[in-house]
Structure 1
């Protein structure tokens, strides 16, 4: 890497990008109540201009090895503070290097006194800086490790099928692994993979002869033997059994206690549990007893039905099995950890989805439900978590953000960040936790250490000087989206009972089953019709009722009778309900009844998702509606609304890579309002009906409606070009000692001397203004839309503006990025006459520089930063063989074939303009 590491708060960060808080915070607000109770546009404006520290983004701070030193810990914390980051989540992961005492590199074993001393130091220094510190209550993920014995490791039920010859009188005994146990032996008619569960009878020897094919089934309770993923040195071991009270208690004692005690008298703000990825965890030794106690019958004789499925009786067993697993993980994992956290004056932040079988309402058992995944128009665990917070009354939804942002490492840009962050905002997230910030030891060659996948936001990133501008944007929007209450109009029922009825070892995930029950086309129909939505499940409805205007039932077969009664009462009280595809016909036990049929028949039903938009429009006016002739923009524009006592706040964003412009009608009862620039807060009047919404690619805007008098409308003057500044620049690469005149703007990679340069280049020139003008903008034109969709993944394909899949675009991998080739590669800080004037990092690349100008000669500098890929591509491949030989293959760097020079510098046209653009 050619650029030096940034260590101090620069002139930029002290002036143009001020950090929010004037004092050091030593405690943080509860997530259950807003920090501010804004009651007017003026108060909202103050919140926007000076967001609280708690709204600043956090970072997942990866400690590799763990090989950390106190001086570097302090320097990185100070850098986070200078960047406008509000805190860090300590995450202990795999080693990056072998011990190298000559260079001061030493892996501190997990939970060793030296490592815990480093944790103590980190939290003490962070507190002094006013930074929040959370801690992951393990190394890597999921929970488990060296202190989890095989008897407390995640369990699984294996089915061994042994064909029996006609003359067989005995079945060969299966070979068991350590700690395996045979829980049932039966004979069934048929062949392996094709046997009839209804013919199951106990395997009793001698076996009577038979003329038909038979199979001996051995149901073996064993262990997944899954190892903790990405573990630090000394943290290796089994993933724990999340259904076992004792397994979780052991982990809390052996791992949780030392980590939390390292914080002394100032506990972490939260302890963290990552996404539940205990793959195949579908059994626990106490399951037969617990099943019998809770469901009232013996599970063991029904294991053939559980595994085979295919009959109503089997679906009932599967349902009861799934429900029991959910209850066990709720009680023994979530509730136990949450109580443990409360007893230690901290909070439990949990990504409550994946495997094992947690449900939507399980999220209410953790203090801080968290999500991830910017799949805006498909099922997403981020929407899963934000919906739970909306339903259960938590004001803050955190999200693991940028997990797969534009691979490989260091390829992600500020524009990529905005493309994902804005989608996260409209899905209800208002506390971003960047994934992430790699600790990097001093003296390590640039670009320093990094996770095997994910973006890097530390000071080794060449465009890092622009990060404070990005962080400030994120903090402002996060703060605004904590004001008031959520106001999504639609609730979508999560068919949990149907998901349970689909369970079969090892397929035991409610969230994983949602792709079969809640289709992207259904969710797109809601969004494209001008509504936003939350999920809710039967348990939440039974406990809390329905507090949305409209309830949508996706194709649902099983539903509790008392839930249908609640829905019926909601409709009688004026609520709106619609079912898609078909009505529920069965209760959770798989039984029909006249009462259930009668209640279900009160719900209007439409045949498919394609007609849902019209049905919703007939039930309630949408919150954001565009004229019929401009309806195509609804596939691109997303929004979220927050309702205040005397105002309605909308965050609106263009999620696409093309400009959009349409006349909007907002569903507020207030008559006046303003629209704000999300970077500067500059206000213009807006009306609920007839407001023109014009957004560049990935641009966003805030609309606030109330009875207050709107900001006075500035006089509109059409945009007019003053000067073309596209030539005559002197470009300096100070790290290379290279400075050359550039008659025309060119790509850095076109010159062999700068092809592999990563860092800063300063574009400088002078220009003359005959007189000072009221408003002058620096504008960089250019930028090209690229094929693709910002919210698409391999699971959810690219979407057309109407929300349907685009057959011309094939997506691979889980990542996302801005599908846009910008005119600045990748971001710039602007100085006018020696004064910092602002940042250019997303469309429209337009900056008001009026107050820095003078009549006569002016000097302008554009400090342009690219990515690390160009310099990285010139380095020899790193040899991980010695590391693998000592510690095993704990990680695989991803997309290394994409580490190659990419276009860099200013590639568009540069103008001075005055006036406004429509």
Structure 2
């Protein structure tokens, strides 16, 4: 055999096959490992508990934590440590030092709970909203009532004041009469003729306070649009941290989630400075719920100004502050009323989040509709963060992962795998679990838990098998953090089309509202279509295009950022003149542009006709020629603009080739390295892939890397002029990395492709079942003629309420050990297993397709297999609720289910646990040359 012939060479080089395989993977860094959000409930933590839990996290394969103080547990109030006090800082210092000893990193949130705020936020600096009171007045009359705030909640709050009063006549003509209002609200103004409507705009406060705040973090939510407010906010951190970052790698800000904050005290001034006209004359337009084109344009200008203030007064200042501490910052821009791409681009680590679970058509992957959120994560939303990182050259894009993946206590590690793969496929490469809750040593099962997270805690019965998921993620991220992104297409996000909506006022780009701002757009339809047919892409904002240049025919927004072969413009109604000017500039510099049509109009209200004429003149200056199949083309300088109704047709015309592997349902993402390209290929289909898969790259050698097992080997491929076809064998639910090299690689072992499977050995002898550990009670041992889950033993009540570990053992014979390998296949596994063969650890089985290579551990004749299975926490929690055993003792929200109702597991069905169906061992021979 070729493999056997190679072994002496491998050993002569000092490389065991395992060591040689490991050399193919990039080095494991701190950030290659997954990190976890670490909830400190009430910050009731101590050094012994911190040390113990960090050791647990390190042993499980975590690379760091994101410390977030949160509301506390009832009965531990005397243990609470107020946020940012000297005592809290001492605990942080201990955490950082202990983490460093374990080669782990530490991030912290710049606040407790969310959104950002706290006791240092005065009412003047608190989240602000406009409150408009209206009055009617006739000619010659004097307003009898005073112009004062009528909202009882606003009265007496410092910082609330009258900002502007505007009078409108019957024809809509506006007159600002703010200076006619006395301090007590008396209006000293009377119209000479007609009927008038008065609009008084008060600067009010939302009254929102920090949600789920920890001790010492209670207080108002911050005004994100005021640089003064943010400067005042960080003074508390400057006092606590001084000139040091105390070892904190990155300061983290959670998603926006500030409700009703649609103003800031000096908004009129800021608006005039940016948009060139007096917004006080258009207060009526702002508060009209629906309206005409003028209202839409004024609201568009308002929203653009809000975005600019968010960018300049919060995000930019936050980044500068973190850099002043010689740290990085991490920011979740989603949810804010700002251009997400520009906000993400301004921070060191853009962070997105997944909320809920995705439907995957993978056989054997369980997903109960009653246990998941109604809204699924969308890869198109995740790409806003990764796109900003890619175009600006940032190495890391992080993600808050597994938030509300399933109902509490019902999440298996196998369910996590395709969800995190979806995250990776969006371009994200730095995963944060959501999350882990600090638990003191004396807390009974199930320990302390946060209400909205998947329970990545040592008290979880599945915890000892978490290393399987963590190692998978680590291998993936070690590659996905290598090299540079390799997306060919840059897609322009036409935000002005969304801003030009006459309905409502402030516009938050939240992950739960994408049906309002993203899904109805041509941009979304086109990018989803391009992604599904094999084009890899990132997004661009207007601001990014102003900074972009063409290098060797490709678009680069920054010198360190990714390069793109083509810019795609979806059907766009509103586009600023400056944006079209930059698109034309890029084309003249040698870039290829594919667009569905020229923009129809300019956004905004000021200088409207002048800007419209400029846009028309720009478009008229472009000479367009008709080509075949409905395609039009304009040659500009060294580049061109291709106009077509179908973007994919335009890309094909521009010789931008798609990856045809998506025709078979495969998903992918690429990374460029110095000597080649990495492809991450995932099979989320119900079908097995066995054959040649075409890739748009050249190669002299190909290495396959399995992130599930860590195995690597030289792959079989054929080379054409501009592409290769690689032989892949992928079961549903499996993933592979293809390393296509422009040189002969250093891998010595060939990839072991499976030939046709032989008849399997069915393990149909008697099985013994021994319960190892768990609770609330450990069931008695069982013997069974036919394999079955332990929850099928309904005559033993203990099996119905047990969560923990139990080992299935059987003996079987191998008549002849003459195959290249033997593959163990578990038919029904609830939920994960560690397999021991003849006393030797053969590895973990924790995700579909529930198989494991065990050939190295078998012997001719009699063999013993032990399969240690761990089940969900659900059955034990069900028992506790049925018996009214109190375990939910938290302030604030206490504990809720996935529908945000009071949590109660007493009516749950017993969750199947253990092994069922058939267990087989299939002799496998490898394909020979």
Pairwise TM-score range, normalised by the shorter structure: 0.7 to 0.9
Alignment of 1:194-593 (within 5 A): 215-255=197-237, 257-258=239-240, 260=241, 266-308=246-288, 310-373=291-354, 378=378, 380-406=380-406, 408-502=407-501, 506-510=505-509, 513-517=517-521, 520-545=524-549, 546=555, 547-572=563-588, 575-580=591-596, 583-586=599-602, 590=608, 591-593=611-613
Query: SS at the partner of 1:151?
Result: coil
Tell me whether 1:732 sits opposite 2:770 in the alignment: yes
| Matched residue, 1:183 | 163
Higher relative contact order (CA 8 A, sep 6+): 1
Deviation at 1:642, TM superposition (A): 0.8
The structure 2 residue matched to 1:81, chosen from 36, 50, 58, is 58
Q: 1:211 to 1:304 in 2, by over 3 A?
A: closer
| Matched residue, 2:667 | 638
Deviation at 1:915, TM superposition (A): 1.5
| Matched residue, 2:618 | 596
**1:368-418: per-residue Cα shift (whole Å, max 9, x none)?**
222223889956442111101100011221111112211x22222111211
The structure 2 residue matched to 1:758, chosen from 803, 813, 823, is 803
| Matched residue, 2:877 | 872
> Equivalents in 2 of 1:87, 1:314: separation in Å?
49
Q: 1:321 to 1:571 in 2, by over 3 A?
A: same
| Matched residue, 1:618 | 653
**1:451-504: per-residue Cα shift (whole Å, max 9, x none)?**
111201121111111111111110111011122211112211112333444487
Query: SS at the partner of 2:132?
Result: strand
Query: SS at the partner of 2:693?
Result: strand
> Equivalents in 2 of 1:562, 1:501: separation in Å?
18
> Equivalents in 1 of 2:124, 2:405: separation in Å?
38
Query: SS at the partner of 2:204?
Result: strand
**1:636-675: per-residue Cα shift (whole Å, max 9, x none)?**
x211011122211100112345555675321112254233
Q: In the alignment, is the contact (CA less than 8 A) between 2:139 and 2:190 conserved in 1? A: no
Q: 1:781 to 1:576 in 2, by over 3 A?
A: farther
> Equivalents in 2 of 1:663, 1:167: separation in Å?
87
Query: SS at the partner of 2:284?
Result: helix
Structure 1: gaps of 5 or more residues: 1-41, 191-195, 783-822
Q: In the alignment, is the contact (CA less than 8 A) between 1:422 and 1:655 conserved in 2? A: no
**1:417-443: per-residue Cα shift (whole Å, max 9, x none)?**
111111111111111111111111222
Deviation at 1:235, TM superposition (A): 1.6
Q: In the alignment, is the contact (CA less than 8 A) between 1:163 and 1:216 conserved in 2? A: yes
> Equivalents in 1 of 2:161, 2:784: separation in Å?
75
Q: In the alignment, is the contact (CA less than 8 A) between 1:142 and 1:239 conserved in 2? A: yes
| Matched residue, 1:160 | 133
**1:182-231: per-residue Cα shift (whole Å, max 9, x none)?**
223345579xxxxx86677759666669998x754332211111111110
Q: In the alignment, is the contact (CA less than 8 A) between 1:361 and 1:539 conserved in 2? A: yes
Query: SS at the partner of 1:389?
Result: helix
Q: How many residues align?
A: 813
Tell me whether 1:912 sits opposite 2:928 in the alignment: no
> Equivalents in 2 of 1:168, 1:156: separation in Å?
31
**1:750-777: per-residue Cα shift (whole Å, max 9, x none)?**
3233111111111111222234334333
Q: 1:520 to 1:498 in 2, by over 3 A?
A: closer
Query: SS at the partner of 2:383?
Result: helix
| Matched residue, 1:699 | 734
| Matched residue, 1:805 | none
> Equivalents in 2 of 1:883, 1:180: separation in Å?
38
> Equivalents in 1 of 2:231, 2:447: separation in Å?
38
Query: SS at the partner of 2:818?
Result: coil
Q: 1:556 to 1:828 in 2, by over 3 A?
A: same
Q: 1:668 to 1:686 in 2, by over 3 A?
A: same
Tell me whether 1:719 sits opposite 2:749 in the alignment: no
| Larger Cα-atom Rg | 2
| Matched residue, 2:638 | none
| Matched residue, 1:903 | 912
Query: SS at the partner of 1:54?
Result: coil
| Matched residue, 1:65 | 42
Deviation at 1:715, TM superposition (A): 7.1
Query: SS at the partner of 2:268?
Result: helix
| Matched residue, 2:89 | 116
**1:843-900: per-residue Cα shift (whole Å, max 9, x none)?**
222211111122222211111111111100111377999968xx55576454535673
Deviation at 1:741, TM superposition (A): 0.9
| Matched residue, 2:864 | 859
Q: In the alignment, is the contact (CA less than 8 A) between 1:499 and 1:510 conserved in 2? A: no
The more displaced of 449-458 and 92-101 is 92-101
| Matched residue, 1:838 | 843
**1:35-80: per-residue Cα shift (whole Å, max 9, x none)?**
xxxxxxx999625275223311101000011211221111000011
Q: 1:570 to 1:89 in 2, by over 3 A?
A: same
The more displaced of 611-620 and 166-175 is 166-175
Q: In the alignment, is the contact (CA less than 8 A) between 2:755 and 2:925 conserved in 1? A: yes
Q: 1:291 to 1:562 in 2, by over 3 A?
A: closer
The more displaced of 485-494 and 658-667 is 658-667
| Matched residue, 2:678 | 649
The more displaced of 686-695 and 280-289 is 686-695
**1:247-285: per-residue Cα shift (whole Å, max 9, x none)?**
111221114542x45x96742011111112222222111
**1:675-723: per-residue Cα shift (whole Å, max 9, x none)?**
3322232333234544454433321111111234475465753211341
Deviation at 1:232, TM superposition (A): 0.7
> Equivalents in 2 of 1:257, 1:397: separation in Å?
30
Structure 2: gaps of 5 or more residues: 1-18, 179-186, 359-375, 550-554, 556-562, 625-633, 635-640
Query: SS at the partner of 1:387?
Result: helix
Q: 1:625 to 1:917 in 2, by over 3 A?
A: farther
Q: 1:863 to 1:715 in 2, by over 3 A?
A: closer
Q: In the alignment, is the contact (CA less than 8 A) between 2:112 and 2:217 conserved in 1? A: yes
Q: 1:576 to 1:728 in 2, by over 3 A?
A: farther
Query: SS at the partner of 2:124?
Result: helix
TM-score (norm: length of structure 2): 0.81
> Equivalents in 2 of 1:364, 1:492: separation in Å?
16
> Equivalents in 1 of 2:388, 2:450: separation in Å?
30
The structure 2 residue matched to 1:128, chosen from 73, 86, 101, is 101
Q: In the alignment, is the contact (CA less than 8 A) between 1:446 and 1:460 conserved in 2? A: yes
Q: In the alignment, is the contact (CA less than 8 A) between 1:552 and 1:577 conserved in 2? A: yes
Q: In the alignment, is the contact (CA less than 8 A) between 2:402 and 2:416 conserved in 1? A: yes
| Matched residue, 1:13 | none
Tell me whether 1:742 sits opposite 2:719 in the alignment: no
Deviation at 1:347, TM superposition (A): 0.9
> Equivalents in 1 of 2:717, 2:266: separation in Å?
62
The more displaced of 337-346 and 711-720 is 711-720
